[in-house]
Structure 1
Amino acid sequence: MSEAPLTISDRIQEKLDDLTRAERQLAHSILENYPASGLGPLTALAKDANVSVPTVARMVQKLGFKGYPDFQSELREELKAKAKDPIEKHDTWAENAPSEHMLNRFTDAVIDNIRHTLGQIDPKGFDEACALVADDQRHLYIVGGRITHTLAEYLFLHMQVIRPKITHIQSTSNTWPHYLLDVKEGDVFVIYDVRRYENNTLKLAEMAHAQGAKIILFTDQWRSPVHQLADISLSSRIVVPSAWDSAVTTMLLTETMISAVQNLSWGDTKERMEELEEMFDQTKLFRKFT
């Protein structure tokens, strides 16, 4: 199976080290409000980034485009992909599906997603996110969306064992004021939000940010609007030959975070795990094969 095409965001991340200071300034400006930032006139983009018009022209060529119109055309295609509903996404794959068995095609897509994601993730940013999650002096809040709530619950169940002071915020927005009532400056929110981004999730992030909370965002390659508020964004490639996006790469980052946080606080975590096992024995929740 051929590799998924690189997004403009992917290309920018790959080229960052090769850009001049002004071009890097422009790149960061584009990524701040990606992909909408590049849909206006060239002069407007240059003004927003506080760079010259020739700087914009040079950078789009470094990204592999003949000129700014080609750059904008690609952005518009990405916006179409970003807004696709499940039926439209399935039609796209059906038209171009190769003849190999679905087991192989799907696995190829997932492996490609993992490779691209790990090739572009910032290890320092990931470590900083894990350190924030491990800091039990900060209350930890975890929330997901209509589908990603399953990932949020998975992280929550593990973090319950690893550390105290943790809350799983349910997806229904009418309960959020109760959770937000006790949020203190420096508390940590882990938020899951992938395409078909949810308005309720953005509103929660805005309210938490206003109260001084740190935000760690798990999102996709196009990035949720929440990324503008996030202290750290962890983006995953999610496209597979399916009517639904894949959660595999996001789950990989989630499980890696669980492992890293466990290691950062192993002394306390070990004690909590031992206490929990004693409780399990008392309740006879699990069968013993001895």
Structure 2
Amino acid sequence: MAESTETIAERLKDAFDSLTRAERQLADSLLQAYPVSGLASITQVAQNAGVSTPTVVRMVQKLGFAGFPAFQAALRAELEARISDPISKRNTWAESAPEAHILNRFTDAVIGNIRQTLTQIDLDMFERSCAVLADPDRSILVVGGRITHSLAEHFFLHMQVMRAKVTHIQSISNAWPHYLLDVAQGDVVVIFDVRRYENSTLKLAEMARERGAHIILFTDQWRSPVHDLADCAFCGRIVAPSAWDSMVTLMLMLETVIADVQERTWDTSKARMEALEDMFDRTRFFRKFT
């Protein structure tokens, strides 16, 4: 399966309403430990889901595959894409790169990423996430990884202005367990994690979950392992004609969340913004031209 097409997880979710009861049972089983759950033999996949092997064959054909071998080949391609390094990612697109200018090719890829992501987003999940983030009784912790730390910082700075009790867990710090000491039931941990998923991020999510935290995840179309622990997950498409993934779609989603939370908290966030602007004026933090 090429990176520009839907993942199998996305296909399963799109087709879910049209599946039979047994096929839905199989889909649930595949998504529980996705994508590894689909790499066993067809007999084992059927047994794990409590369905027959003909049910497996029928469902993968409904997803658009000629048969189970083609389905597994697509899963293996997804796994390879999830762990690929920058050099191999560049080689994937460079061999068949069109003649058009990089500005056009990159922009077309990003627009396609946005369009496909928006067709997949769960609006109810979006609303729940924003409501949780706007709840003043919950503390919020934000963490990113080696690349996504810039997204985490962007999110943190805006949330910190709008409301109290927001903490940025520095991803380069080996003292991150300290931040979990005061996490209470219902507090929110916002995690940014894209392919080449980081082990420390998964461990942080596991420990936060044990303490009763509500986890909101921003990840890619292949979904970080943190997805299995998350209460809400924003899955953005990130493939671009570059050795590096594009974070534009994730930035769009997080800025939209920020805008929604701002509206939900405007009565208090406006006063915080005014107080901050007064501090900026008193310290002459920004240059004035009047």
- What TM-score, normalized by structure 2, do the two folds share? 0.96
Deviations 1:24-74 (A, max 9, x none): 232222122221110001222222223332322211010011211111111
Amino acid at match of 1:130: C
Q: What's 2:49 paired with?
A: 49
What is residue 38 of structure 1 aligned with on the other side?
Answer: 38
Q: Name the residue aligned to 1:243.
A: 243
Alpha-carbon distance, 1:173 to partner: 4.8
- Match of residue 162 from structure 1: 162
Q: 1:257 is matched with which residue?
A: 257
3-state SS in 2 of match to 1:174: coil
Cα-to-partner distance string for 1:169-218 (whole Å, 9 max, x where unaligned): 01135211211111111110000000000001001111101111110010
CA contact 1:65–1:71 (8 Å) conserved in 2: yes
Query: 1:98-157: CA deviations, max 9, x gaps?
Result: 000000000000000001100001010111111111111011000000010000000000
Alignment of structure 1 residues 156-195 onto 2, 5 Å = 156-195=156-195
Q: What root-mean-square deviation, in Å, do the aligned CA atoms of Structure 1 and Structure 2 show?
A: 1.4
The equivalent of 2:234 in structure 1 is 234
Is the CA contact (8 Å cut-off) linking 1:106 and 1:241 kept in structure 2?
yes
SS at match of 2:245: coil
Deviation of the 1:260 alpha carbon: 0.6
The equivalent residue for 2:20 is: 20
Q: Secondary structure at the match of 2:164?
A: coil
Q: Output the amino acid matched with 2:248.
A: V
**Matched residues, number:** 289
CA distance in 2, matches of 1:13, 1:111: 22
Q: Quote the residue 1:203 is aligned against.
A: 203
Mind listing any 5+ residue stretches in structure 2 that lack a counterpart? none
Q: Which residue of 2 aligns with 1:274?
A: 274
Post-superposition CA distance 1:238-274 (Å, at most 9, x none): 0000000010000000100000110111111111111
Unaligned runs of 5+ in 1: none
Does the 8 Å contact 1:3/1:112 carry over to 2? no
Please tell me whether the aligned partners of residues 187 and 212 of structure 1 are also in contact (alpha carbons under 8 angstroms).
yes
The 8 Å contact of residues 3 and 239 in structure 2, kept in 1 or not, is answered as no
Q: Does 1:95 align with 2:95?
A: yes
Partner of 2:69: 69
Paired letter, 2:170: Q
Q: Equivalents in 2 of 1:277, 1:35: separation in Å? A: 48
2:29 and 2:256 map into 1 onto residues whose CA distance is 30
Decide which moves more: 227-236 or 38-47: 38-47
Partner AA of 1:5 in structure 2 = T
The aligned amino acid for 1:158 is: H
Partners of 1:23 and 1:252 lie apart in 2 by 34
Given that 2:177 and 2:204 are in contact with CA atoms closer than 8 Å, whether structure 1 keeps it comes out as no
In structure 1, distance between residues paired with 2:50 and 2:230: 23
One-letter code of the match for 1:53?
Answer: T
Distance in 1 (CA, whole Å) between partners of 2:3 and 2:207 is 39
Deviation of 1:222 after TM superposition, in Å, equals 0.5
Structure 1 residues 205-224: aligned runs within 5 Å? 205-224=205-224
C-alpha distance in 1 between matches for 2:127 and 2:52: 35
Moved more, 136-145 or 76-85: 76-85
Please give the secondary structure, in 1, of the residue aligned with 2:230.
coil
Q: What letter corresponds to residue 6 of structure 1 in structure 2?
A: E
In structure 1, C-alpha distance between the alignment counterparts of 2:271 and 2:280, rounded to whole Å:
14
Partners of 1:144 and 1:150 within 8 A in 2: yes
- The change in CA–CA distance for 1:3 and 1:142 in structure 2 (over 3 A counts) is closer
Q: In structure 2, what is the equivalent of residue 106 of structure 1?
A: 106
Distance, in Å, in 2 between the alignment partners of 1:64 and 1:4 is 16
CA distance in 2, matches of 1:105, 1:3: 15
After TM superposition, the structure 1 stretch with the greater mean CA deviation from structure 2, 44-53 or 197-206, is 44-53
Letter in 2 for 1:112: G
| Distance across 2 between alignment mates of 1:64 and 1:195 | 25
Give the whole-Å Cα distance in 2 for the aligned partners of 1:24 and 1:215: 26
